[in-house]
Structure 1
Amino acid sequence: MATRAATFRSVLAVGEFRAIWLAELLSQAGDQLARVALSVLVFQRTNSAALTGLTFALTYLPTMLGGILLSGLGDRFPRRTVLVVSDVVRAALVALMAIPGTPLWLLCILLTAVVMANGPFKAAQLALLPDVLDEKRYVVGLAVRNVTVQSSQVAGFAGGGLLVSLLNPYLALGLDAVTFALSALIIRWGVRWRPAARSGKDPVRLSAFRLVWRDPRLRLIALISWLSLFYIAPESLAAPYAAELGLGALAVGLIMASHPVGSIIGAYAYTRYVSEENRQRTLGMMGILAGIPLLFSAFQPDLATSMILFGLTGAFSTAYTLQCAATATRLLPDAGRAQGIGLLATAALTAQGIGALLAGVLADLSAASAAIAMAGAAGVVTAIPLTYAWARRDHGHDRASTPQLPDTHRNTPTADR
């Protein structure tokens, strides 16, 4: 009865969550718009799929450094402060990128710094959610957040493709800077200040690896999240793939938007029609299903068919990503929650960056369509043993199917019993 009472409306009725939701909606839309602009800009200047993939990779890969080195800031300092400062820093850096004529090498340096600042922001944001939402609304809140992120990606990718095709790519970067500034203002005035989760007198230590490594479920979640290495291929190769089909910048945005459209549908359907127990059981299986649609890109289907296939990949990959996030956040203690979440999020984003780079290299050696198909095949093969391992873990540990919210009085994550 209590679970049914938790709806999208009841979650959005929480004022602090609305502020976080609106801020993320703005900044995510700006980010995707900027990704379209950078992909088109680099491909136009260099005509190289590898360099286009490298640029796209830079929108993910440096998060590894930011997530590992800076995510702990969300435990050592008030999380609202970390969110606001991160937004202000990113707004300033992206504003520099928006200056017309900026050399590509300088764009790459600035982009690397922007993405590094994303690490502590995401860690602090996700660590704050269990404080903002009660247990009944928490999982639904994650679903709302996921739908919001993917919806903003659709708007950013599709709108970005149209904007870049009509105007200047640097305008998209300027709009991205504005979204970061607005996000900082919304969080500053819409989220209540809370003290740091860990005392500033505590010794500084990188304990995220230990937090994750001690729990076999968290280790598996980290490995499953790395499947994004394979499933980022359609987005990272959107420009050369569209060129294979004889299409332009608008098609690039539509191809990039396919994955988030599928993600919106997948997040809603998975949380609405699949029980918590079955979501836990099918966690690994979703990773296998996500790779199958990509195999058909080898036949170079038309734009509409390609968008459907990439949308299916988005739906299935979002299903396992959402459940991974919910389970991991509940297993981590409050005092190390930001670091643990930062590490897991960093693993997923780093995988996407590596996958984007490898996909670009494969596309230069063969073709974008063939590279996407090979990425899908590799994802399916990798997901099979992970699915088996998760099934064994799920059947052997009843608590894995019904994880609890973190106990803020403990200093270690829930261990297997």
Structure 2
Amino acid sequence: MAATKPVRLSGKHRRARASERRATYGEVVTVGEFRALWLGQGLSLLGDQLAQVALALLVYSRTQSALATAAVYALTYLPPIVGGPLLAGLADRYARRRVMIMCDLIRALLVAAMAIPGMPFPALCVLVFCVVLLSAPFSAARAALLPEILEGDRYVVGSALQNMTNQAVQMLGFAAGGALIAGMGPYRALALDAATFLASALILVSGVGRRPAPARDDAGRPSMWTMTRAGAALVFGDRRLRTLVLFAWLCGFYVLPEGIAAPYAARLASGEIEVSVVTGLLMAAMPTGTVIGAFWFSRFVTPSGRLRAMGWMAMLACAPLILCALDPPLPVVLALWVISGVGGAYQLAANAAFVQCVPAERRGQAFGLVQSGLLAAQGLGILIGGAAAQELGPEPVVALAGAAGLAMAAILAMLWTESRSDIIARVRAEAT
């Protein structure tokens, strides 16, 4: 291959890059509808984290099995494989606000049933499955509604703020979850989760305005199956979108450590620190890093700079996990997982680029397909990781996941370099 000369930016291009305007958190928070989405999501997520910690500790204390613990944790990711892509189309078929409210109300009822003392464990698993299944249309509707509320770089900053809040809530829920559940018990934690879904529905009713459904004509509405096929053709028929989807699904590699945090903690805990405390610290490490990374990435990097750095950040999300093969002590493991979380902030840029490439009236189905695949990738990764940890131990499994993720991230970074130019040009035009 012939050598190429370094490209020098003309004065016009340098001025364009310098003049890219970054939205601020202050101007995003002043939007009332965004505040409603932001607060409702944070409340329901906090309840979910308490429920996840309760289930993880309950199963591991009963079975002492890494595979069983990972299987229950994976149950919170796998339902979208069954119905997520189909149900996500509801966000384009009906008014998105209504879809979100109905999903919250139904989930509140299901989780309230889970909180009944003496609920058989198999029935509890079925209820968990149904609750997570309903997250597909809710998440698709919320993701499709957000670009209508926030435009341009405000969408990226709003997404970053939501992401930081979600990760902070996860960090708080995981870190304090063990101690709280020890005091309140798992059933009360589930009752609190049901209450957060009700609170989210009330916030949406009062804080988000009514909008018509994207498909207004009942006679002309395609079937759910037709919409699902059309959404899949849109997402996977475009090279840029395929690459962005694979960037999103890459998290299946670097989220795996959270699924085997309990058995990993059992190896790291000493006599002075309980396993439940170490489990919470490990599960909080990556969300902590993501909060740091999302703040830095959205506040100090230009819109086009985020797109350029996406491949490097994706590799950073996976590379630190390889060092877990050296069996480091707890402080080092926590630091490695925090750094991995920092790299995971690349998802903000991937999400913004995805919005640029998908028509507004089809965003619900498109986001739903990606979100379903995202949860499926995480669930399968955790399930496979749990089975491998049962045989090999948690440390080598985390390292192998990091190595495999790094190789995939490097390939995606090269593919992205070839297809990002037009998206960067569009983002610059909006930001100037």
Which TM-score band (shorter chain)?
over 0.9
Aligned in 2, Cα 1:25/1:102: closer, same or farther, shift over 3 Å?
A: same
TM-score, length basis structure 1: 0.92
Match of 1:302 in 2: 329
What amino acid does structure 2 have at the position aligned with 1:50?
L
Percentage identity across paired residues of the two chains: 44
Match of 1:48 among 60, 65, 73: 65
Match of 1:389 among 404, 415, 426: 415
Match of 1:79 in 2: 96
What amino acid does structure 1 have at the position aligned with 2:59?
V
- The 3-state SS of whatever aligns with 1:45 is helix
Which digits, 9 at most, give the CA deviation of each residue in 1:34-54, with x for residues without a partner?
111111011111111101111
Greater Rg over alpha carbons, structure: 2
- The 3-state SS of whatever aligns with 1:89 is helix
Q: Do the aligned residues in 2 keep the contact of 1:2 with 1:136 (CA within 8 Å)?
A: no
- Aligned-residue offset at 1:75: 0.9
- The 3-state SS of whatever aligns with 1:282 is helix
CA distance in 2, matches of 1:303, 1:162: 19
Match of 1:17 in 2: 34
- Aligned-residue offset at 1:303: 2.4
Q: Do the aligned residues in 1 keep the contact of 2:356 with 2:423 (CA within 8 Å)?
A: no
Match of 1:244 in 2: 267
CA distance in 2, matches of 1:128, 1:30: 23
Aligned alpha-carbon RMSD (Å): 1.7
2:254 paired with 1:235: no
CA distance in 2, matches of 1:3, 1:393: 21
Match of 1:32 among 40, 49, 53: 49
After superposition, residues 315-334 of structure 1 pair within 5 angstroms as 315-317=342-344, 319-334=345-360
Q: Do the aligned residues in 2 keep the contact of 1:66 with 1:118 (CA within 8 Å)?
A: no
Aligned in 2, Cα 1:84/1:265: closer, same or farther, shift over 3 Å?
A: same
CA distance in 1, matches of 2:251, 2:394: 18
2:225 paired with 1:195: no
Q: How many residues align?
A: 401
What amino acid does structure 2 have at the position aligned with 1:237?
I
Match of 2:76 in 1: 59
Q: Do the aligned residues in 2 keep the contact of 1:229 with 1:355 (CA within 8 Å)?
A: yes
Match of 2:369 in 1: 343
Match of 1:255 in 2: 282
Q: For structure 2, which runs of at least 5 residues remain unmatched after alignment?
A: 1-17
- The 3-state SS of whatever aligns with 2:211 is coil
- Aligned-residue offset at 1:187: 0.5
Match of 2:202 among 164, 169, 185: 185
- The 3-state SS of whatever aligns with 1:56 is helix
Match of 2:403 among 377, 383, 402: 377
Greater mean deviation of Cα atoms: 112-121 or 287-296: 287-296
TM-score, length basis structure 2: 0.89
CA distance in 2, matches of 1:300, 1:256: 18
Match of 1:414 in 2: none
CA distance in 1, matches of 2:139, 2:265: 31
Match of 2:158 among 141, 145, 163: 141
- Aligned-residue offset at 1:136: 4.5
- Aligned-residue offset at 1:3: 5.9
Aligned in 2, Cα 1:5/1:298: closer, same or farther, shift over 3 Å?
A: closer
What amino acid does structure 2 have at the position aligned with 1:134?
E
- Aligned-residue offset at 1:403: 4.0
Which digits, 9 at most, give the CA deviation of each residue in 1:276-321, with x for residues without a partner?
222212222222111111112223323222221111111101x221
